């Protein structure tokens, strides 16, 4: 329970920052809004996730918000309705109890009278009487523009150079008071036990819905999410069985929220510039479609039984491949496929807890990251295993990518972690180039496609030899981050057995796991990404995806009890509504980085799967036949792809 009984905390206009883990997220498969436990919408890009935000209080105390909360001191709790993305906040005051329900109706192809471009906020007074206050304080274009506010019969209309907003209520005779100088509008009301009212904000249209329409929207939204979400019928027999079952289901719902219904693209996170270190400069915009992240997301959703997303993303990717040469493929794109993501600094925003700069755009789009080709081929390979058929034109585009990998695999790059230092020959990048060739050979053989298999096999073996010759520490015991660095570790090398490069019982695999556990793991059991320079000042928190990777590696090398213990510790960092940011501060346990983060929820889903299946396993790494692993390979595929070496 969160208590907000201090005057500075119960005023929606207060400029203090909420802990990142105090937020929930709602969305409509086009954009997302972050709602704090005190009932304030502090982040809301419109009309799309990569658009500018109309409420940016998350990044600056004066960035604007849309708050509903009791006037009197209160305690509050957050929860989602079971198996939905409908968020409920319950306020407890001395005089009564109020429930606030936040949701957006998902974008669908079906005909409906419901506006998907509305943030609905339902108020239920559960007992007693509650005096409440509504604050509507939009700040268009990341708070670079103060809107013009005008009264309407339903509420307040906000206009400017951006998408207009209409704030409305169903209250009778409860007009907003508009403060023109402060560019905000406020309203107060008293609800009594049993009373229900609606408040909301619509964008791109000025029509306020009726009470009946609001109720219909809630019913349809709950039905949509429950029909979509993972449902096993019998949790005890579910492959995700265990104390993490419901969190795996929640993680799937989070990943679905990050998909863009119109294009099939998948965002890495719905926010920008939430810091990896409080007061630091590692603040990035994650509201884009990373090829790598999206491929992993599709595989995690497939593990939960959601194959439609795999088809939609594969279609998005193949369209991109048919219109872009392999050399011009970027690591990330906008959710609509645009390539221009120039990085800008918003100097007028203070940043979350004074963490500057605040950035929009991401210049990592211009980096060379060779691992993306392997991740793409993994996604295609797994899609065909689930029954998706490739057309001849699709195969031609894939062949061009694979041929390109044979030409450039020896070159340095910026790697999976997008370092801003000089490019290096990262072991993980070489590994994924090997994967690209390996899966392409399999696709050609299994699907009967024409391909230069002898040349592909030759290059695959050359990459393998290079990794084994240059990618180990000087003693040849464990894998390091790059060919240029003798003893710098990288948690990404934990993936070596998962993609079939070496078997789980190989001594170099086991030594790599031990090295990561010994040198990259904090006292609390969380894992840092790497221990070498990256061209940026300051530090960062422990990385949740890498922490889940270590759980997976422990589980599939026979240390099942240790893996289970680590997983139970990891899920202790999940916030009260089941959400995870990118990182966790070792010293405080607070969440850091953009939120919620797809990578972290991918890790949770896969670790839940691995630990659940590994418990009681007789021979580690060999009996999970047909079960998809963290990067998309199955144990069956891993076994088939393990090539002997000396």
Contact 378, 295 (CB under 8 A): yes
Quickly state the pLDDT bin for 573 (edges 50, 70, 90): very high
pLDDT at 3: 41
pLDDT at 521: 97
* Overall average pLDDT of the 10-29 stretch: 82
pLDDT at 237: 67
The answer for residues whose C-beta is within 8 angstroms of residue 80's C-beta and 6 or more apart is 24, 86, 87, 88, 250, 253, 577, 578
* Overall average pLDDT of the 417-443 stretch: 97
pLDDT at 300: 82
* Overall average pLDDT of the 273-283 stretch: 97
* Overall average pLDDT of the 49-75 stretch: 96
Which parts of 20-86 are beta strand (E)? 23-27, 32-36, 40-43, 65-70, 74-80
The pLDDT of residue 186 is above 60:
yes
In whole angstroms, what is the distance from residue 382 CA to residue 439 CA?
Answer: 9
Instruction: Report phi then psi at 197, rounded to 5.
Output: -140, 165
3-state secondary structure of 197: strand
The pLDDT of residue 640 is above 60:
no
In whole angstroms, what is the distance from residue 175 CA to residue 560 CA?
Answer: 61
Report residue 418 as tokens.
């997008």
pLDDT at 635: 37
Contact 374, 415 (CB under 8 A): no
Higher pLDDT, 408 or 616: 408
pLDDT at 390: 87
Domains by residue range for the chain, with CATH: 2-228 (2.70.98.10), 235-641 (1.50.10.10)
pLDDT at 627: 32
Q: Report which of 244, 166, 109, 214 is spatially closest to residue 611, judged by C-alpha positions.
A: 244
* Overall average pLDDT of the 205-211 stretch: 77
pLDDT at 625: 26
Quickly state the pLDDT bin for 295 (edges 50, 70, 90): confident
Burial 78-114 (b: 16+ CB within 10 A, else e): bebbebbbbbbbbbbbeebbbbbbbbbbbeeeeeeeb
The pLDDT of residue 131 is above 90:
yes
In whole angstroms, what is the distance from residue 75 CA to residue 134 CA?
Answer: 17
The answer, yes or no, to whether the previous bond of 357 is cis (omega within 30 of 0) is: yes
State what percent of residues in the chain have pLDDT above 70: 90
Percentages (nearest 5) of helix, strand, coil residues in the chain: 35, 20, 45
The pLDDT of residue 632 is above 80:
no
Q: Which of 66-70, 129-133, 227-231, 523-527 has the lowest mean pLDDT?
A: 227-231
In whole angstroms, what is the distance from residue 176 CA to residue 169 CA?
Answer: 10
181 DSSP assignment: T
In whole angstroms, what is the distance from residue 487 CA to residue 515 CA?
Answer: 10
Report residue 60 as tokens.
């600056």
Quickly state the pLDDT bin for 628 (edges 50, 70, 90): very low
The answer, yes or no, to whether the previous bond of 111 is cis (omega within 30 of 0) is: no
In whole angstroms, what is the distance from residue 508 CA to residue 113 CA?
Answer: 60
pLDDT at 381: 87
The pLDDT of residue 215 is above 80:
yes
pLDDT at 501: 97
pLDDT at 15: 60
First and final C-alpha spacing in the chain: 58
The pLDDT of residue 439 is above 60:
yes
3-state secondary structure of 553: helix
What's the whole-model pTM score?
Answer: 0.92
The answer for residues whose C-beta is within 8 angstroms of residue 130's C-beta and 6 or more apart is 70, 72, 91, 93, 95, 96, 97, 98, 190, 191
The pLDDT of residue 384 is above 90:
no
57 DSSP assignment: T
pLDDT at 106: 94
pLDDT at 565: 95
The pLDDT of residue 644 is above 50:
no
pLDDT at 637: 38
Higher pLDDT, 464 or 146: 464
3-state secondary structure of 269: coil
C-alpha radius of gyration, the chain, whole number: 25
pLDDT at 2: 41
Per residue in 521-562, pLDDT (tens digit) is: 999 999 999 999 999 999 999 999 999 999 999 999 999 999
DSSP 476-532: SSSB-SBTT-SS--BGGGGGTTTTTSS-TT-HHHHHHHHHHHHHTB-TTS-B-SBSS
Quickly state the pLDDT bin for 175 (edges 50, 70, 90): confident
Burial 341-373 (b: 16+ CB within 10 A, else e): beeeebeebbbbeebbebbbbbebbebbbbbbb
pLDDT at 621: 37
User: How high does pLDDT run on average in the chain?
Assistant: 89
Contact 213, 150 (CB under 8 A): no
Instruction: Report phi then psi at 441, rounded to 5.
Output: -60, -45
The answer, yes or no, to whether the previous bond of 47 is cis (omega within 30 of 0) is: yes
In the block, tokens 């840092």 appear at: 528
pLDDT at 214: 94
Could you count the other beta carbons within 10 Å of the beta carbon of residue 398? Answer: 26
pLDDT at 14: 54
The pLDDT of residue 630 is above 80:
no
Residue 542 host element (H or E): strand 542-543
pLDDT at 642: 37
The pLDDT of residue 263 is above 50:
yes
State what percent of residues in the chain have pLDDT above 90: 73
| CA angle at 609 for the pair 606 and 612, rounded to the nearest 5° | 145
Q: Residue 408 burial by CB count (10 A; 0-12/13-18/19+): exposed, middle or buried?
A: middle
For the chain, how many helices (H) and strands (E)? 15, 22
pLDDT at 236: 63
The pLDDT of residue 510 is above 60:
yes
pLDDT at 172: 65
pLDDT at 616: 52
Quickly state the pLDDT bin for 111 (edges 50, 70, 90): low
In whole angstroms, what is the distance from residue 157 CA to residue 201 CA?
Answer: 9
Q: What does the H/E/C string look like for 341-361?
A: CCCEECCCCCCHHHCCCCEEC
Strand order, beta sheet including 583-584? 542-543, 583-584, 591-592
Higher pLDDT, 170 or 121: 121
Q: Which of 145-149, 152-156, 630-634 has the lowest mean pLDDT?
A: 630-634
Per residue in 320-348, pLDDT (tens digit) is: 888 889 999 999 999 998 988 999 999 99
Higher pLDDT, 315 or 528: 528
């Amino acid at each position: 329970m969160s208590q907000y009984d201090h005057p500075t905390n119960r005023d929606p206009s207060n400029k203090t920052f909420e802990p990142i883990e105090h937020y929930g997220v709602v969305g409509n498969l086009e954009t997302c809004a972050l709602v704090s436990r005190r009932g304030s919408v502090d982040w809301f890009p419109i009309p799309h996730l990569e658009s500018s935000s109309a409420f940016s209080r998350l990044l600056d105390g004066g960035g604007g918000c849309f708050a509903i909360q009791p006037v009197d001191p209160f305690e509050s709790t957050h929860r989602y309705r079971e198996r939905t993305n409908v968020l409920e906040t319950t306020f407890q005051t001395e005089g009564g109890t109020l429930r606030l329900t936040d949701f957006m109706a998902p974008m669908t192809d079906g005909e409906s009278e419901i506006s998907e471009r509305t943030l609905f906020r339902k108020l239920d007074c559960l007992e007693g009487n509650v005096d409440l206050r509504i604050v509507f304080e939009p700040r268009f274009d990341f708070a670079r523009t103060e809107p013009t506010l005008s009264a309407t019969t339903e509420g307040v209309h906000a206009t400017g150079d951006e998408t207009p907003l209409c704030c409305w209520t169903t209250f009778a005779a409860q007009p907003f008071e508009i403060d023109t100088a402060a560019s905000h509008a406020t309203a107060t009301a008293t609800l009594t036990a049993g009373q229900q009212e609606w408040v909301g904000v619509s964008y791109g249209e000025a029509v306020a819905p009726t009470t009946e329409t609001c109720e219909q929207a809630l019913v349809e939204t709950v039905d949509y999410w429950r029909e979509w979400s993972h449902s096993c019928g019998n949790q005890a027999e579910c492959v995700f069985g265990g104390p993490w079952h419901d969190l795996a289901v929640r993680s799937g719902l989070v990943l679905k929220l990050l998909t863009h219904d119109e294009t099939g693209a998948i965002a890495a996170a719905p926010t920008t510039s939430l810091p990896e270190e409080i007061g630091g400069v590692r603040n990035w915009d994650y509201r884009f479609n990373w090829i790598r992240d999206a491929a992993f997301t599709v595989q995690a959703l497939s593990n939960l039984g959601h194959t439609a997303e795999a088809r939609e993303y594969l279609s998005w990717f193949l369209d991109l491949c048919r219109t872009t040469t392999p050399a011009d493929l970027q690591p990330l794109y906008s959710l609509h496929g645009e390539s221009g993501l120039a990085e800008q600094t918003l100097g007028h925003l203070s940043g979350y807890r004074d963490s500057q700069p605040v950035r929009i755009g991401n210049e990592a789009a211009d980096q060379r990251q060779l691992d993306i080709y392997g991740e793409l081929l993994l996604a295609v390979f797994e899609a065909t295993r689930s029954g998706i058929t490739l057309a001849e034109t699709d195969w031609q585009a894939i062949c061009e990518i694979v041929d390109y990998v044979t030409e450039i695999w020896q070159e340095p790059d910026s790697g999976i972690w997008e370092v801003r230092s000089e490019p290096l020959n990262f072991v993980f990048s070489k590994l994924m180039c090997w994967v690209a060739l390996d899966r392409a050979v399999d696709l050609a053989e299994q699907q009967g496609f024409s391909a230069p298999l002898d040349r592909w096999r030759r290059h695959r073996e050359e990459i393998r030899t290079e990794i084994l010759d240059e990618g180990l520490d000087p003693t040849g015991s464990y894998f390091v981050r790059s060919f240029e660095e003798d003893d710098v570790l990288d948690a990404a090398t934990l993936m070596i057995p998962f993609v079939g490069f070496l078997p789980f019982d190989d001594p170099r695999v086991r030594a790599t796991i031990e090295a990561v556990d010994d040198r990259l793991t904090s006292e609390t059991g969380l894992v840092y990404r790497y221990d070498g320079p990256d061209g940026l000042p300051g530090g960062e928190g422990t990385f949740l995806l890498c922490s889940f990777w270590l759980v997976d590696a422990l589980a599939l090398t026979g240390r099942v009890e240790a893996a289970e213990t680590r997983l139970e510790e990891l899920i202790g960092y999940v916030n009260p509504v089941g959400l995870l940011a990118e990182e966790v501060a070792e010293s405080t346990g607070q969440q850091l980085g953009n939120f919620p983060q797809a990578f972290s929820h991918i890790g949770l889903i896969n670790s839940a799967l691995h630990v659940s299946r590994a418990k009681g396993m007789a021979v580690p790494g060999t009996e999970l036949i047909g079960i998809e692993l963290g990067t998309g390979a199955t144990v069956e595929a891993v076994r088939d792809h393990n090539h002997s070496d000396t």
